[in-house]
Chain A
Amino acid sequence: MDLGPHAAFIWISYAAVTVTVTGLILWLIADGRKQAADLEALERQGVKRRSSSPGVR
């Protein structure tokens, strides 16, 4: 595919979007795993959630 004299600009644009968006997605997945693991660890320690816990409303 020939994208003309300005191919580099096009490729960089698409690459930047790809990198940023995949970066965000990976971060979201990693963060989700970490929170889930923390929560499970705490629950295993026997800390239970109060029904009207003020932290989560």
Chain B
Amino acid sequence: MQTLTQRLANPTRFMELSARLLPWISAGAVVLLAYGLYLAFFASPADYQQGETVRIMYIHVPCAWLSMMVYALIALSSFGLLVFRHPLADVSAKAAAPLGAAFTFLALLTGSLWGKPMWGTYWVWDARLTSVLILFFLYLGLIALRSALEDESAASKLTAILALVGVTILPIIKFSVDWWNTLHQPSTDFTSTVDPSMRLPLLVMAIAFTLLFFAMHLKAMRNEILRRRVKALRTQAVAGRDRLAAHGAE
């Protein structure tokens, strides 16, 4: 009797399973996204303080959450690779990195665009913004390190080590907001104080974005598995020729 992870560990099984799952997740993401956008633009009021710009929140916050969640996923996958040598762990980590970088970038961008009307500037150097920027750098470092190494299996293990070293950034983003004097208002526990009329669209959008991410992640993993198959076949073809040549030289 195989456990679920063991069955998933087989890339062929994964390909079958993901092929069946992918359409459903994508469809769910599209539906929820449509509903969320409807709520965000038509079924929710403007904030009494922030005015209409509060609507940026419905994409900013999901992106910001995803930026952290994806990193956690990468760290988890890295752990799986290094400790359990799970065959899909590296595929997952590699596929997630550019997606995470993209969502972090979007969180930064939408945050800055919200900052201009709210704080009068695109950027301030406060703890939360800075730590998200560092998270973005970590993503860049992961991508750059992987692309700088020729040997793929070495590259995946080394990036995994870096990902685990960098995971300390997550609690920093979450908790330490009062490091040094800042223009930013002190952080409040938004989810409990927010008006229900805004909580629903935010929740729907957050779930929609998460589903969207998982759909993209599955697709990227499938691509990566195919890429590895292609590469293995290619080297095999060359190696076959080389082996004959070595015999000839003897």
Contact = CB atoms under 8 A, between A and B. Distances in A.
Consider the complex of A and B and state whether they touch directly, i.e. have CB atoms less than 8 Å apart.
Answer: yes
B216 A24 contact: yes
A14 B58 CA distance: 10
Given A20-B102, A20-B105, A28-B216, A13 B113 contact: yes
Contacts of B230: 35, 38-39, 42
Nearest to B42: A1
A21 B109 contact: no
Size class of the contact patch on chain A: 35 or more
Given A6-B117, A16-B109, A56 B52 contact: no
B17 interface: no
> Which among A43, A54, A57 has the highest number of chain B CB atoms within 10 Å?
A57
Given A53-B232, A57-B87, A9 B51 contact: no
A2 B41 CA distance: 10
A32 B219 contact: yes
A29 to B, nearest CB: 8
A10 B47 CA distance: 14
A32 B233 contact: no
Question: What does DSSP make chain B's interface, helix, strand, loop or mixed?
Answer: helix
Contact of A42 (B219, B227, B233): B233
> Which among B98, B114, B116, B227 has the highest number of chain A CB atoms within 10 Å?
B227
Given A10-B53, A16-B110, A47-B236, A56 B60 contact: no
Interface string A35-46: 110110011010
Nearest to A46: B237
A38 B228 CA distance: 11
B192 interface: no
Interface of A: 1-7, 9-10, 12-14, 16-17, 20-21, 24-25, 28-29, 31-32, 35-36, 38-39, 42-43, 45, 47, 49-50, 53-57
